[in-house]
Amino acid sequence: MAKNQQLFQDIFEITDIDPHGKKFDRVSRIVATSENIDMGVTLDINTEIYPLRPSDKFTLALASTLALDGNPVDTSKKQPWRDPSFATPSSGTTGKKSLADDYDYVMYGKVYKYEDEGGAKVQLQNLNVGQYIYLLMRK
């Protein structure tokens, strides 16, 4: 990932799934802990298309753009989640490669909240509530 597009990347291990019970048929809330830093993450994932189990490990990345050249995207306002010039194999179209090609699960949305409990702030220094970003995962 180009430096200017990468906001965060680390490896996590799932410690719990749906700790307060399953609320939706196709979505589970995963709780995971970083292997490298003192950090935890709680995410809602569509487990019908991306099944996960406790003790699974995955790489989680946050990026401001899917463009491999790192061209910035204005993340202060909502943009289409996918640039139409990127390749979409499921539809049979060809185009330029994107960061999403290296990951299994990609979400695009607004940072709703994050909690800073005192650890190394440098890990999330480029992340702001209200910012639109890509969350990418791979096993």
CATH of the domain at 11: 2.40.50.140
Count of Cβ atoms closer than 10 Å to residue 27 Cβ: 13
Please report whether residue 94 resides in a domain. yes
Give the domain range for residue 82: 6-138
Quote the number of domains for the chain: 1
- pTM beyond 0.95: the answer is no
How confident is the prediction along the chain (139 residues), in pLDDT tens digits per residue? Answer: 555 678 899 999 999 999 999 999 999 999 999 999 989 999 999 999 999 999 999 999 999 888 888 776 555 555 555 555 555 555 555 567 889 999 999 999 998 887 776 655 556 777 889 988 999 999 9
Interatomic CA distance for residues 62 and 43, integer angstroms: 13
* 1 within domain boundaries: no
The pair of structure tokens assigned to 114 is 């994050």
Is residue 130 in a domain?
yes
